[in-house]
């Protein structure tokens, strides 16, 4: 349904989804000020959204939510750039960037999250590489000043 059969690219974005640096990738664009789509979408490549989308998105490349884009969906993607509004649960195996105009509400699971100055994020973030059992085991907590004082750091009493 949203696959692109025309060999002419709809646009190009920087390569960050496994393509060689400097090569352009095809970017499917969904534009429409009054357009609203709801459902389950499975997109093999990258997509830019400049309308209202709800439901579930599985993107095989980069998801770009433009400044006019409003997405209320659960998302699985490689990379994401959010310049509009996003609400839901997102899992990104690559990078997630919330631009200065981006507004995000929900949970993000990724290893790389960048929030530009002015960008808003309300929710939880978790690393993908964290082992599931690692959070169950208690981790030791050290008070840095006490540890240093016991070692006799120069400039502190007892050194």
Could you identify the residue written with the tokens 């750091």? 153
Question: What pLDDT score was predicted for residue 113?
Answer: 94
Q: Which residues contact 128 (CB under 8 A, 6 or more apart)?
A: 91, 93, 109, 110, 111
Query: What local confidence, expressed as pLDDT, does residue 41 receive?
Result: 92
Taking the domains of the chain in order of start, what are their residue ranges? 12-130
Give Cβ neighbours of residue 127 (< 8 Å, ≥ 6 apart). 109, 110, 111
- Write down the pLDDT at residue 35: 87
- Residue 29's pLDDT is what? 74
Report the C-alpha dihedral over residues 56, 118, 67, 45, rounded to 10 degrees.
Answer: -50
**pLDDT value at residue 129:** 78
For the chain, which residues score pLDDT lower than 50?
Answer: 1-21, 134, 146-149, 153, 155-156, 159
- pLDDT at site 108: 96
88 in helix, strand or coil?
Answer: strand
């Amino acid at each position: 349904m949203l696959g692109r059969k025309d060999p002419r690219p709809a646009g190009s974005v920087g390569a960050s989804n496994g393509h060689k640096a400097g090569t352009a990738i095809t970017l499917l664009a969904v534009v429409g000020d009054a357009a609203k789509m709801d459902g389950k979408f499975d997109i093999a490549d990258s997509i830019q959204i400049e309308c209202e989308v709800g439901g579930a998105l599985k993107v095989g490349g980069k998801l770009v939510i433009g400044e006019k884009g409003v997405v209320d969906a659960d998302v699985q993607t490689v990379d994401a750039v959010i310049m509009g509004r996003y609400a839901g649960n997102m899992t990104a195996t690559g990078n997630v960037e919330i631009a200065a105009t981006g507004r995000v509400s929900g949970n993000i699971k990724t290893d790389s999250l960048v929030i530009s100055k002015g960008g808003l994020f309300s929710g939880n973030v978790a690393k993908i590489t964290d082992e599931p059992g690692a959070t169950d085991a208690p981790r030791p907590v050290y008070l840095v000043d006490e540890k240093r004082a016991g070692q006799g750091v120069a400039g502190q009493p007892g050194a």
